[in-house]
């Protein structure tokens, strides 16, 4: 079919696809932290391994690998090496290990870790982020996925089956609501 009727058919397919996407996203539980978004393209993350428990750095890389799969192709994170930084740095996501008592205003008592995009709060564009994990706890992929999810812009959810539930879930990969949220954030990059 060509001409005007072909254009209508193509528009109809596009509208149907968009409605299906809206339906799928609405059916999944995810929340975002703020109206701010990451810039489109590739961002760097670094790791301060100084206090990292055995196996923790590999867990960081696995969490970012899964984040990249969920955010591709519009937003990606690449490993840029190690650092001695213990906090946020402009233009970088810093992953570090510090006990709760060293960061009482940032990490709540009993928390495994904390993660957030930077600058925070910011309602336009994030340029970096920080993940701080308490080294006194065992290395857990679900905790790292959760904190990296915060860096990407996800908030907590009420569904216990999602990685972004406020307590550790034991999940080894992002769940449907988490994935919907990460994809939505990536599609809204600035």
Do 121 and 173 fall within a single domain?
Answer: yes
Q: Give the model confidence (pLDDT) of 57-91 as tens digits.
A: 999 999 999 999 999 999 999 999 999 998 888 88
Q: Is the same domain home to 169 and 130?
A: yes
Q: Do 115 and 173 fall into the same domain?
A: yes
The arithmetic mean of pLDDT across residues 115-133, rounded, is 84
Do 133 and 118 have their domain in common? yes
Is residue 24's pLDDT more than 90?
Answer: no
Which position has the higher pLDDT, 106 or 94?
Answer: 94
* Rg of the chain, C-alpha, whole Å: 18
Considering the domain architecture, whether residues 3 and 80 belong to the same structural domain is answered as no
Instruction: List the CATH number of the domain containing 156.
Output: 3.40.390.10
Assess whether 17 and 95 both reside in one domain. Answer: no
Residues 59, 9, single domain; the answer is no
Task: Clarify whether residues 41 and 11 are in a common domain.
Answer: no
What's the CA gap between 66 and 28, in Å, rounded? 18
Contact assessment for residue 52 and residue 18, using Cβ atoms and an 8 Å cutoff: no
pLDDT of residue 9: 59
pLDDT score for 18: 44
Looking at the structure, do residues 104 and 116 belong to the same domain, yes or no? yes
Asked if residue 82 and residue 14 are part of one domain, the reply reads no
The SS3 assignment for 59 reads: helix
Predicted pLDDT at 28: 54
Q: How far apart are CA 153 and CA 107, in angstroms?
A: 18
Name the residue with tokens 């923790």. Answer: 56
Name 77's bridge partners: 43
Residues 165-171: what's their mean pLDDT?
Answer: 94
Residues 24 and 109 in one domain: no
Query: pTM above the 0.75 mark?
Result: yes
Counting the structural domains of the chain, the total is 2
Expressed as residue numbers, the domain containing 9 is 1-30
- The closest alpha carbon to 180, from 78, 75, 71, belongs to 71
Band of residue 110 on the pLDDT scale cut at 50, 70, 90: confident
pLDDT-derived band at 5, boundaries 50, 70, 90: low
Is residue 23 located within the same domain as residue 53?
no
Average pLDDT, the chain: 86
């Amino acid at each position: 079919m060509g001409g005007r009727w072909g254009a209508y058919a193509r528009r109809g397919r596009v509208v149907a696809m968009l409605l299906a996407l809206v339906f799928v996203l609405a059916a999944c539980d995810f929340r975002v932290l703020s109206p701010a978004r990451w810039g489109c393209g590739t961002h760097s993350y670094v790791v301060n391994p100084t206090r990292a428990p055995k196996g923790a750095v590999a867990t960081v890389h696995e969490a970012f690998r899964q984040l990249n799969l969920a955010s591709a192709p519009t937003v990606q994170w690449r490993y840029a090496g190690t650092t001695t930084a213990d906090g946020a740095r402009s233009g970088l996501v810093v992953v570090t290990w510090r006990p709760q008592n060293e960061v009482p205003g940032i990490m709540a008592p009993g928390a495994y870790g904390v993660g957030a995009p930077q600058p925070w709060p910011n309602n336009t564009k994030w340029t970096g982020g920080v993940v701080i994990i308490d080294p006194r706890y065992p290395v857990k992929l679900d905790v790292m996925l959760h904190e990296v999810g915060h860096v990407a812009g996800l908030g907590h959810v009420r569904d216990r089956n999602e990685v972004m539930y406020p307590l550790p879930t034991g999940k080894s990969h992002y769940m449907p609501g988490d994935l919907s949220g990460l994809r939505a954030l990536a599609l809204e990059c600035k």
